[in-house]
Amino acid sequence: MALGSLLNNPADHNLGRSRGFWSAIHLDPLLLLMLLLLMGGGLFVLYSGADRNIEVVKAQGIRFGVALVVMFVFAQLDPAVFRRWAPWLYAVGMVGLVAVLLVGVGAKGAQRWLAIPGLPRFQPSEIMKLVVPMMAAWYLSRHYLPPRLSRIAVGLIIVLVPMALIVQQPDLGTSLLVGMAGIFVVFFAGMSWKLISAFFALVSVSAPMMWFFVMRDYQKQRVLTLLDPQSDPLGAGWNIIQSKTAIGSGGMDGKGWLQGTQSHLEFLPESHTDFIVAVLAEEFGFIGMLLLMTLYFLIILRCLYIAVTAQDSFSRLLAGALTMTFFIYIFVNVGMVSGLLPVVGVPLPLVSYGGTSGVTLMAAFGVLMSIHTHRRMISA
Amino acid sequence: MAWGEFKDTAAERRLFQRRAVVMLVLVLLMMIGLLARMYQLQIVEHEIYTTLSDKNRVQVQSVPPPRGLVYDRNNLLLAENRPVFSLTLVPERVAGMEATLARLSEILDIAEEDIERFKRRLREPRRPFQEIPLSYDLGEEEIARMAVHRHEFPGVEVRAELVRYYPHSELTAHALGFVGRINREELQRIDPVNYAGTNYIGKSGIERFYEQVLHGTVGYQHVETNARGRILRVLERVNPVPGEDLQLHLDLRLQRKAYQLLEGRRGAIVAIEPETGGILALASVPGFDANKFVTGISVEDYRNLSTDIDKPLFNRALRGQYPPGSTIKPMMAIAALDSGVTNRERRIWDPGYFQLREGGRRFRNWNRSGDGWVDLKYSMARSNDVYFYEVGVEMGVSVMSEYLAHFGFGEDATLDVSGALSGLLPTADWKRAARNEPWYPGDSVNMSIGQGFMLATPLQLATATTLIANRGVWVEPRLLKDIRGDRSVDEFLPSETHEPLILKNPDDWEYVVDTMEEVMHGARGTARSSGQGASYRMAGKTGTAQVFSLAEDEEYDEEQVRERLRDHALFVGFAPSDNPKIAVAVIVENGGGGSSTAAPVARALFDAWLEELPATEQSSVISQVNPEEGR
């Protein structure tokens, strides 16, 4: 069966013996193939979502090229390198996050970028999507697993502090992704189910408190708008109404490529960035969504397989967390566009137009490939 | 692996495997959930959304709220809205933007600046199908020409829009401020939803301070359009909530009087009602026509205004920082009495100058020949400098600064006056920080008569005078008197922060007021000619401030230089002195002496406020009432 070959990549059997071509260049052909398929399809949809603007597609193509190079570079590094560097990267990232709050630049009332003379502008929060799970995995895998309560607490602090700093920027979407990446590490490390239930209980109790004390007006507004889009037809409600209309009018097999009326009449805002899945749903219908979801699922399946077969705890925790972060991207974005979740700025991975998140994602896949292909000869 | 403590590798692997399976199941379930949602939208509710999509010719349009009006205290309109026709484009509907702009420029006279600004707006984020204005204030002929060519321009509309208009702009520009087009910076600050369809925002003064109140809340309507975007009918409408109308303390008649009194000069007048702190008049002369700024001033007009050597755009009343000169003496008198440095009986010998020590520098009295033995009352009336030199040095800078701070110097004490400056109240610490020098006794000598480092705005002088008129009770100056409608004005005015100034001997207030009356009515008072023949008693103090230098890069002809090197004339005062209804500060730039130039201006204002205006009010009431009775 196809699923069988997905899991049992022939390259895996070459451990310790004659290393194949793919192992030598430290790439996983199956994962790479699926990612290329996703990117290629993404460019197609983008051409339509950007209203046939070939420049946008070209720019995205260049980004993908850069992202693939980044992935390749990360794949060449031994996982032990990531483990050794994790605390230092984490320290640098934290300094970056604090610096952003103090001297960062940005637009629309949010400071997210750091402009250091001589370097290209970058978002420290973006780097933290990789570094926070690395740091948490480094810390927890130093000791036996499952971790003691005190180590779980430290692990959570490692995650929550950068998360809190990113919320201050304010950037809810990124802080959510960074936080989830770290929390998945703790989960995979073996946090007991009792604790997990307690954690969820705490979250559900604190949610109303968050509403009254922590959430800013615009965030509350987003939640209210989700519940009743008609209440704000000029603002955020507009997006939800229009994207639901676009998706719903797609039907079973869609209106056809470039034929989506909603997106092309520009009723649909952000049709090539965060809301691109609505374009896909309108033009390729339910069948298109089914194919997209299947492809995503297969990628996740392959990545979890890589995680399970990884050789040491650090690699396992990191691989598992990065995989789940990828899933969170998908879930939050599709949930938001289809009106299940409030509007949070999270792109559809490897399909939405935009630079930094694509590069970070591909770097994460590079790490996964590195974990899969750097294997020590151990006699089991 | 020498990694951490003892680890059971196999057990850890099994633990991870179990967790991974749990996650995989969770991922699968959540993805099925997403697909179920898609199924719901795309298959189950497909019909509903297809219908919605087909008639997505139905659009949501914003309906901007009319901006609140501004009235003076007698309900005369100071700021209203008038309909203006502007040319707007909906970029989504325009076929070929460049060609359309080129063709439009052929038909209409569109300035290059307008096109550039339009293109900038085009690049900024906006809602789909939002109109972007290209050209404002079309004339009737242009509207007619557009009507003829309308079919050639899909997506181009002539829109009627309400735009701010100031009927008495030359008189009120400095007091009210003005609105202008929303610029890039403001675009990032405002709520894009509430300003959808609004092109103007308060830039200064009241218009800026009360922007949120005046703006109102946006409304919207669902409209059905044809394929070219023309509105066929309105389906549903939620009306905008108009901005609140404001009533100011300002009296347009007194304001007009103030401008008349300063006509042809440069200067400022601030009049405050002591009971309420309400600003009755706030004049900075010359003024300018703020209406020019509303729809965007032309480059040439702006250059003319900004390079005019009389600086009409400069708000002298709020931002002109002058040495207060002898107008500081009433406050100094309070400080000297209350700190115990002097008393009512103390007399000081004035030989025509003052020396810190024998043979030192001579600080001259303005009357070079000297006034002989002088007490406080005589010193106020004659504006004797030597008396104040002496008590100033005895008080020292810290005591003087402390008392003057109570009078609102060195801070912006206003509640809702946007852009007021705080002047400069020097202290020893300030001088060390700013000049890197210690405070010399000679600095105290200068400070005692309002010269040297000290700077104050006319508004601050009027505020300090109000405190004397109120005998120490603070009322912060304010412009807003009332909000039309049933909301209380206190919801909008910032709260008051100043404590009353309580003297050890409260009777000192009356004494200092007496000395100020002496200035106006005494046999030797410096402003006695301005006090003559009044039916009420007034209190005041004249002042003359030296003009030290002109900026070097300014080139004026000799006549003008001579005129602009003359002293500034100042006056502060209030009337009637026992029950003050009005407190004023007057400054006439290069007006010469305070007693000859500034005091008569203040007297005219007192007369207007206390006698002439009430008289006309009465006669107008009578003329309104009589026909009623005749029926």
Whether residue B556 is found in the same domain as residue B500: yes
Q: What is the mean pLDDT of chain A?
A: 83
Residue A37 or residue B551, greater confidence: A37
Whether residue B324 is found in the same domain as residue B413: yes
Last-in-domain residue among B248, B270, B298:
B248
Q: Any CB–CB contact under 8 A between B228 and chain A?
A: no
Contacts of B4 in chain A (CB under 8 A): 141-144
Q: Any CB–CB contact under 8 A between B49 and chain A?
A: yes
Q: B-contacting residues of A 7-46, CB under 8 Å? A: none
- Examine residue B11 and state whether it is found in any structural domain, yes or no: no
The sign of the torsion formed by the CA atoms of A206, A209, A214, A216 equals positive
Whether residue B178 is found in the same domain as residue B270: no
- How many angstroms away from the CA of B420 is the closest CA of chain A? 27
Number of residues assigned to chain A: 380
Q: Is the pLDDT of residue B502 over 70?
A: yes
Nearest to B30 among A184, A304, A331 (CB): A331
Whether residue B209 is found in the same domain as residue B353: no
With cut-offs at 50, 70 and 90, classify the pLDDT of residue A34.
very high
Q: Is B50 close to A266, i.e. CB distance below 8 A?
A: no
Last-in-domain residue among B248, B281, B304:
B248
Q: Is the pLDDT of residue B621 over 80?
A: no
In this structure, what DSSP letter does residue B151 have?
G
Q: Any CB–CB contact under 8 A between B232 and chain A?
A: no
Residues whose CB is less than 8 angstroms from the CB of residue A140 and which lie 6 or more positions away in sequence, other chains included: A147, A151, A155, A185, A186, A189, A313, A317
Q: How far apart are CA A216 and CA A342, in angstroms?
A: 14
Whether residue B169 is found in the same domain as residue B284: no
Whether residue B201 is found in the same domain as residue B325: no
Q: How far apart are CA B352 and CA B606, in angstroms?
A: 34
**H helix intervals, B40-64:** 46-54
Whether residue B216 is found in the same domain as residue B269: no
pLDDT tens digits, B361-396: 888 888 888 888 999 999 999 999 999 999 999 999
Whether residue B418 is found in the same domain as residue B435: yes
User: Mean per-residue pLDDT for B182-186?
Assistant: 80
Q: B-contacting residues of A 272-311, CB under 8 Å? A: 281, 285-286, 289-290, 293, 296-297, 300-301, 304, 307-308
- Examine residue B211 and state whether it is found in any structural domain, yes or no: yes
Last-in-domain residue among B248, B280, B299:
B248
CATH number of the domain within which B425 lies: 3.40.710.10
Q: Which domain holds residue B106?
A: 59-248
CATH number of the domain within which B174 lies: 3.90.1310.10
Q: Is A307 close to B192, i.e. CB distance below 8 A?
A: no
Percent with pLDDT over 70 in chain B:
91
Count up the domains in chain B and report the number: 2
Q: Is the pLDDT of residue A18 over 50?
A: no
- The upper half-sphere exposure of residue B488, i.e. CA atoms within 13 Å in the direction of its Cβ, equals 3
User: Mean per-residue pLDDT for A214-240?
Assistant: 69
Contacts of B35 in chain A (CB under 8 A): 289-290, 293
Q: Is the pLDDT of residue B425 over 80?
A: yes
- Examine residue B533 and state whether it is found in any structural domain, yes or no: yes
Contacts of A111 in chain B (CB under 8 A): none
Determine the pLDDT at residue B629: 40
Q: Is the pLDDT of residue B143 over 90?
A: no
Whether residue B63 is found in the same domain as residue B188: yes
Nearest to A142 among B4, B24, B193 (CB): B4
Determine the pLDDT at residue A184: 92
Whether residue B266 is found in the same domain as residue B409: yes
With cut-offs at 50, 70 and 90, classify the pLDDT of residue B194.
confident
ipTM for the predicted complex comes to 0.89
Q: Is B49 close to A340, i.e. CB distance below 8 A?
A: no
Q: Is the pLDDT of residue B37 over 80?
A: yes
Whether residue B198 is found in the same domain as residue B337: no
With cut-offs at 50, 70 and 90, classify the pLDDT of residue A14.
very low
Q: A-contacting residues of B 79-138, CB under 8 Å? A: 92, 127-129
Q: Is A265 close to B20, i.e. CB distance below 8 A?
A: no
- Examine residue B7 and state whether it is found in any structural domain, yes or no: no
pLDDT tens digits, B435-478: 889 999 889 999 999 988 999 999 999 999 999 999 999 999 99
Contact (Cβ atoms closer than 8 angstroms) between residue B270 and residue B601: no
Nearest to B42 among A190, A281, A331 (CB): A281
- Angle, CA A126 vertex, CA A361 and CA A32 arms, to 5°: 10
Nearest to A340 among B19, B37, B62 (CB): B37
Whether residue B194 is found in the same domain as residue B323: no
Q: How far apart are CA A370 and CA A77, in angstroms?
A: 6
Q: Is the pLDDT of residue B9 over 60?
A: yes
Determine the pLDDT at residue B3: 47
Determine the pLDDT at residue B129: 65
Q: Is B23 close to A320, i.e. CB distance below 8 A?
A: yes
User: Mean per-residue pLDDT for B558-567?
Assistant: 71
Determine the pLDDT at residue B625: 46
Q: Is the pLDDT of residue B28 over 80?
A: yes
Name the residue of chain A whose CA is nearest to B52's CA: A245
Residues whose CB is less than 8 angstroms from the CB of residue A219 and which lie 6 or more positions away in sequence, other chains included: A172, A342
Q: Which of B592, B594, B613, B591 is CA-nearest to residue B602? A: B594
Q: Which of A269-273, B176-180, B488-492 has the lowest mean pLDDT?
A: A269-273
pLDDT tens digits, A282-295: 899 999 999 999 99
Nearest to B42 among A146, A248, A334 (CB): A248
Q: What is the mean pLDDT of chain B?
A: 85
